[in-house]
């Protein structure tokens, strides 16, 4: 092997090593959240009294579960339906996103339905599909009452279809 070839191989090896040293932390930063399970946590969305029985209320929600670079996309909303004053079936918490292509659904209290403005998807008040292109009911999130406050479990969607 000539001196020139040896030098070229040495430079190539050094360049590869430097690229590895610089690239590994970047790859780890980008792929780490995909590999690491997302920690679930409950988020306080307000006092239980804020949600009158028989009504469906929009709640702004900062979801701590998305990837760190989600930015404003982590600021989302939920529909909280209060069915009863208390008990295990007191609430239903729906993702605001339509199960067709993810547009935010609107609650129409007069008709008692959720309506999706994008392609005309319609859901009944319990989140089941009433019509249009969606095939699945609205995604539901787990909830619990802690003291006098309602807490929602943040989780990557899709989550549960009904509270266990």
Asked whether 98 and 105 are in contact (CB, 8 A), the reply is yes
Nearest to 70 by CA among 111, 38, 104: 38
Q: Does 133 bind ligand FES (CB under 6 A)?
A: yes
**Coil, strand or helix: which one is 41?**
strand
Query: Which of 56, 90, 129, 134 is the binder for ligand FES (CB under 6 A)?
Result: 134
Distance in Å, CB of 20 to ligand FES, minimum? 43
CA torsion angle 138 58 50 86 (round to 10): -10
Query: Which of 45, 59, 80, 116 is the binder for ligand FES (CB under 6 A)?
Result: 116
**Backbone CA torsion sign across 94, 100, 106, 107:** negative
Distance in Å, CB of 132 to ligand FES, minimum? 5
Q: Tokens representing 49? A: 């009294």
Give the binding range for ligand FES (CB under 6 A) out of 1-9, 27-35, 62-70, 129-137: 129-137
Distance in Å, CB of 10 to ligand FES, minimum? 57
Q: Of 51 and 114, which CB lies nearer to ligand FES in the complex structure?
A: 114
């Amino acid at each position: 092997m000539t001196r020139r070839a040896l030098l070229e191989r040495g430079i190539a090896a050094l360049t590869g090593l430097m690229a590895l040293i610089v690239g590994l932390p970047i790859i780890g930063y980008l792929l780490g959240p995909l590999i690491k399970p997302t920690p679930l946590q409950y988020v306080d969305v307000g006092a239980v009294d804020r949600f009158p029985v028989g009504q469906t209320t929009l709640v702004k929600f900062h979801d701590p579960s998305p990837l760190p670079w989600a930015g404003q996309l982590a600021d989302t909303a939920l529909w909280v339906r209060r069915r009863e004053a208390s008990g295990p079936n007191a609430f239903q918490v729906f993702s605001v996103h339509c199960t067709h292509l993810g547009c935010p659904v609107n609650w129409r209290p007069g008709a008692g339905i959720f309506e999706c403005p994008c392609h005309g998807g319609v859901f009944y008040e319990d989140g089941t599909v009433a019509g249009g292109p969606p095939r699945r009911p609205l995604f539901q999130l787990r909830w619990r009452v802690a003291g006098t406050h309602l807490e929602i479990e943040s989780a990557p969607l899709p989550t549960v279809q009904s509270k266990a």
